[in-house]
Amino acid sequence: SAVISQKPSRDICQRGTSLTIQCQVDSQVTMMFWYRQQPGQSLTLIATANQGSEATYESGFVIDKFPISRPNLTFSTLTVSNMSPEDSSIYLCSVLSGQFGNTIYFGEGSWLTVV
Amino acid sequence: QKEVEQNSGPLSVPEGAIASLNCTYSDRGSQSFFWYRQYSGKSPELIMSIYSNGDKEDGRFTAQLNKASQYVSLLIRDSQPSDSATYLCAVNIPRRGGSNYKLTFGKGTLLTVNP
């Protein structure tokens, strides 16, 4: 499986600020995704990061709040904009990989606390 | 009905026992099914994937799939304290728009294996 590195791994952010999370993969992957896991909850897909075009957002998530970049097949960023305490979550970068190319693997996650 | 539902936890078993984790899904068109393990403070890691009806064994883990009943389960034999974690069921539910691949996760079952 691909090795996925995220940074920052953890941060405490002030309300109203924005933070960009970076995701680096050690091999080229076609599909990259960003998930959110709020405290005590399961994982929710934010968007699919598309290389060279705009990300595809899931219902309830918008580009103004969560702008995503995917400049190449190994790198993506997620920005959490104008943060509020409700944005305190784990943000997970993930890729589609595996023997049959249909398994999702996760990075270590970015733990964000908004104060 | 939720897209992916897991049996409510937490589940507590003694060391050496069999732990049984259950999951149901709503979309009959689903083709890929996964179990992830998530330790506290860590990101999810893939345990098992299953695509065909029946059982699939990997060491102490057995995944069982019954598409007619829309049911997938994970059995952990000879449970160890190190198996104590949250287990997430994930299903690839077919999409008719937007991104063509999306894993939908259940809320997870917290398993505790007591020494």
User: Any bridge partners for residue A68, and if so which?
Assistant: A78
User: Which residues, at least 6 apart from B39, have a Cβ–Cβ distance to it below 8 Å?
Assistant: B85, B86
A contacts of B101 (beta carbons < 8 Å):
31, 48, 96, 102
Give the Cα separation of A83 and B84 in Å (integer): 33
Helix (H, G, I), strand (E, B) or coil at A86: helix
Give the Cα separation of A31 and A102 in Å (integer): 10
Residue A102 pLDDT > 90: no
User: Any bridge partners for residue B54, and if so which?
Assistant: B65
User: Any bridge partners for residue B49, and if so which?
Assistant: B34
Instruction: Work out the minimum CA distance from A15 to partner chain B, whole angstroms.
Output: 23
Question: Considering CB atoms only, which of B46, B101, B105 is closest to A96?
Answer: B101
Instruction: Work out the minimum CA distance from B108 to partner chain A, whole angstroms.
Output: 7
pLDDT for A63 equals 96
Query: Token pair 């994970």 is at which residue?
Result: B74
A contacts of B99 (beta carbons < 8 Å):
31, 47-48, 56
pLDDT band at A40 (very low <50, low <70, confident <90, very high): confident
pLDDT tens digits for range B92-108: 877 765 556 788 999 99
Give the Cα separation of B8 and A109 in Å (integer): 25
Give the Cα separation of A82 and A67 in Å (integer): 11
Give the Cα separation of B4 and A84 in Å (integer): 29
Instruction: Work out the minimum CA distance from B100 to partner chain A, whole angstroms.
Output: 9
Share of chain A above pLDDT 90, in %: 80
Identify residue B40 by its one-letter amino acid code. Answer: S
Instruction: Find the residue in B nearest to A91 (Cα).
Output: B43
- Backbone φ, ψ for residue A86 (5° rounding): -65, -15
Helix (H, G, I), strand (E, B) or coil at B13: strand
pLDDT tens digits for range B15-30: 999 999 999 999 888 8
Interface contact B42-A42, CB threshold 8 A: no
